[in-house]
């Protein structure tokens, strides 16, 4: 039985359609996550106190460390399978998938052992109050079980993503969100407390993991995952590449989530709630920005695998302008409306102050700046140098966060993250990207940065005025006015300053063509209805 070629093996149009479907469904899933999160958090706070909510936040952060036990195998499979999908090879794919699957399921045993140790030690590492310690241990153990289930089926999700079926993965995210939200609400109302969040996550992970397995076999009917197909040579190939992705993931966790751990240790556990809720909208919108570059990774991998360097460079350039331009818009818009929003949403006691919001906005821009670089470098299998840069950034980040946090509190912890990124990744990763495309490093970075910096300089006074107006109006209305008008001005600035004329013309042409297809179809339907 011959294995069908995956959809991504098709022409450029097929890649573009799959990218568009992945982007649209990714935004749908992320927007749904944002809306559900904004509603569910104040609902959850009706049933949990500030320390219980902080336990949930810290446990979720620490569980990300379990993903490092993957040793980068999933990332290696994702990249190699994406390049392979441009020139389908049934035997090679089966060996890759089998090796990754059985290796990961052996690692699941280690995940469970380490996870149980984390569950036992968690309430003693953090200053959790006595009556909450046993509940905390059981809660973390339940989250570990859900993590192990998801870990055991990572191979199937990686194959979906590698074959540009990201839209399927996104639909599974929507299903996971719906199931988890429904169960969380029901169990919270029944008085399960913290256990509600863990039980809902466990059930939803089990169901969506089974759906991912079923969908992968539908997509790749010739796929065979057997122990005899596993190969030590393939594992070494995955591991030699994947270990760098794994180390990069370790550094990424230190950079993105250790600020809450530092806050809990330096200040108090309840401070984590303040930091998390003040920065919630920034974290949620960071997921929207991630979609732009993450969805393009399989497409970039195919182009680079087929040695289409010039085409990959054009795609990178558009990704950078869109991703960083939208990051600047999001950062300034969210800062303008964050204070009235958080105060109306979860109460003034959970807002950490305007300067903390400024630091979070800066962090969003710095972290988003290098996303296009990471996407193209990872797709080109350039893992080691960017990982070493990430490790240096993580070390500087940790040191600065502890030092500044000791003297100026939460604001210092967040500023430490931004400063570390500016000193390392924001200039080094663009330099690596320039080398990949055979360009002069300084000129390459200047062409990327100047339009985005110009947008930021122009939008700053607008955001400042809107922030004052939003505080004066207050509530959700003030937040909406401040963020909405700032965002509107930002989109206009990005369109005219950051995007080149050729790209604007192609967007206009695509919109006009879509409108013609829509109205043409509707007019034919209207004509038929009139005849009837």
Q: What is the pLDDT of residue 419?
A: 93
> Cα 93 from chain centroid?
26
Three-state helix/strand/coil letters over 402-466: HHHHHHHCHHHHHHHHHHHHHHCHHHHHHHHHHHHCCCCHHHHHHHHHHHHHHHHHHHHHHHHHH
- Sequence-separated (6 or more) residues with CB below 8 Å from residue 414: 259, 275, 279, 356, 359, 360, 363, 401
pLDDT at 4 over 60: no
Q: What is the pLDDT of residue 70?
A: 67
Q: How many residues does the chain have?
A: 532
Q: What is the pLDDT of residue 9?
A: 41
Q: What is the pLDDT of residue 480?
A: 93
Q: For 212-228, how does the pLDDT look when each residue is reduced to its tens digit (9 = 90+)?
A: 788 788 777 777 887 87
How confident is residue 361, by pLDDT bands cut at 50, 70 and 90?
very high
Q: What is the mean pLDDT of residues 274-297?
A: 82
Q: What is the pLDDT of residue 82?
A: 64
Q: What is the mean pLDDT of residues 41-66?
A: 84
Question: Is the model more confident about 64 or about 444?
Answer: 444
Tokens standing for 36?
């559900």
pLDDT at 488 over 90: yes
**Phi-psi label, residue 308: left if phi above 0, alpha if psi -120 to 50, beta otherwise:** beta
Question: Is the model more confident about 381 or about 397?
Answer: 397
Q: What is the pLDDT of residue 238?
A: 67
Question: Is the model more confident about 242 or about 338?
Answer: 338
The percent of residues in the chain predicted with pLDDT above 70, rounded, is: 84
Q: What is the mean pLDDT of residues 436-455?
A: 86
The percent of residues in the chain predicted with pLDDT above 90, rounded, is: 19
Q: What is the mean pLDDT of residues 138-163?
A: 82
Q: What is the pLDDT of residue 338?
A: 93
State the Cα angle at 187 between 186 and 190, rounded to 5°: 95
Distance CA 42, CA 350 (A): 11
The pTM (predicted TM-score) of the whole model is 0.69
How confident is residue 8, by pLDDT bands cut at 50, 70 and 90?
very low
Query: What is the pLDDT of the chain when averaged over all its residues?
Result: 81
Domain boundaries, the chain: 9-230, 244-523
Q: What is the mean pLDDT of residues 248-263?
A: 77
Q: What is the mean pLDDT of residues 419-429?
A: 91
Q: For 87-115, how does the pLDDT look when each residue is reduced to its tens digit (9 = 90+)?
A: 566 777 778 778 888 887 888 888 888 88
How confident is residue 10, by pLDDT bands cut at 50, 70 and 90?
very low
How confident is residue 12, by pLDDT bands cut at 50, 70 and 90?
very low
Distance CA 365, CA 328 (A): 6
Question: Is the model more confident about 173 or about 459?
Answer: 459
Three-state helix/strand/coil letters over 81-140: HHHHHCCCCHHHHHHHHHHHHHHHHHHHHHHHHHHHHHHHHHHHHCCCCHHHHHHHHHHH
User: Exposed, middle or buried by CB within 10 Å (0-12, 13-18, 19+), for 178?
Assistant: middle
Nearest to 159 by CA among 215, 207, 105: 215
Task: Confirm if 97 and 159 have CB atoms less than 8 A apart.
Answer: yes
């Amino acid at each position: 039985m011959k294995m069908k070629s995956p959809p991504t093996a098709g022409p450029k149009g097929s890649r573009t359609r799959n990218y568009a479907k992945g982007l649209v469904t990714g935004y749908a899933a992320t927007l749904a996550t944002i809306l559900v999160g904004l509603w569910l958090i104040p609902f959850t706070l009706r049933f949990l106190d500030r320390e219980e909510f902080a336990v949930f936040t810290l446990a979720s952060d620490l569980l990300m460390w379990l993903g490092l036990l993957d040793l980068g195998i999933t990332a290696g499979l994702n990249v190699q399978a994406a390049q392979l999908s441009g020139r389908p090879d049934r035997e090679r794919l089966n060996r890759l998938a089998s090796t990754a699957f059985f290796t990961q399921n052996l690692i699941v045993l280690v995940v469970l052992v380490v996870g149980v140790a984390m569950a036992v030690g968690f309430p003693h590492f953090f200053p959790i109050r006595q009556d909450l310690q046993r509940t905390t241990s059981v809660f973390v153990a339940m989250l570990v079980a859900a993590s192990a289930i998801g870990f055991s089926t990572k191979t199937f999700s990686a194959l979906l993503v590698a074959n540009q079926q990201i839209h399927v993965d996104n639909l599974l995210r929507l299903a996971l969100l719906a199931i988890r939200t429904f169960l969380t609400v029901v169990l919270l109302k029944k008085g399960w407390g913290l256990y509600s969040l863990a039980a809902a996550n466990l059930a939803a992970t089990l169901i969506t993991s089974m759906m991912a397995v079923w969908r992968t076999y539908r997509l790749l009917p010739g796929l065979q995952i057997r122990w005899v197909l596993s190969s030590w040579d393939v594992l070494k190939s995955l591991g030699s590449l994947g270990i760098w992705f794994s180390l990069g993931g370790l550094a990424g966790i230190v950079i993105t989530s250790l600020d809450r751990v530092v806050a809990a240790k330096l200040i108090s556990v309840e401070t984590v709630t303040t930091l998390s809720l003040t920065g919630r909208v920034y974290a949620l919108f960071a997921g929207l920005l991630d979609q732009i570059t993450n969805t393009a990774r399989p497409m970039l991998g195919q182009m680079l695998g087929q040695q289409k360097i010039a085409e990959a460079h054009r795609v990178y350039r558009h990704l950078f302008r869109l991703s960083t331009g939208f990051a600047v818009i999001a950062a300034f818009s969210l800062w303008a409306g964050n204070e009235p929003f958080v105060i109306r949403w979860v109460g003034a006691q959970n807002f950490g102050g305007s300067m903390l919001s400024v630091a979070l906005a800066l962090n969003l821009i710095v972290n988003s700046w290098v996303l296009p670089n990471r996407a193209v470098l990872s797709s080109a299998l350039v893992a080691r140098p960017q990982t070493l840069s990430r490790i240096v950034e993580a070390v500087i980040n940790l040191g600065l966060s502890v030092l500044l946090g000791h003297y100026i509190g939460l604001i210092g912890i967040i500023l430490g993250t931004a400063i570390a990124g500016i000193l390392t990744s924001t200039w080094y990763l663009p330099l690596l990207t320039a080398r990949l495309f055979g360009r002069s490093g300084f000129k390459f970075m200047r062409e990327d940065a100047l339009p985005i910096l110009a947008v930021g300089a122009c939008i700053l006074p607008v955001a400042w005025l809107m922030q004052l107006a939003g505080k004066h109006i207050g509530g959700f209305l003030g937040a909406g006015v401040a963020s909405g008008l700032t965002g509107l001005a930002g989109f206009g600035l990005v369109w005219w300053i950051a995007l080149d004329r050729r790209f604007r013309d192609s967007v206009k042409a695509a919109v006009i063509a879509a409108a013609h297809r829509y109205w043409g179809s509707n007019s034919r339907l209207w004509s038929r209805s009139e005849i009837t």
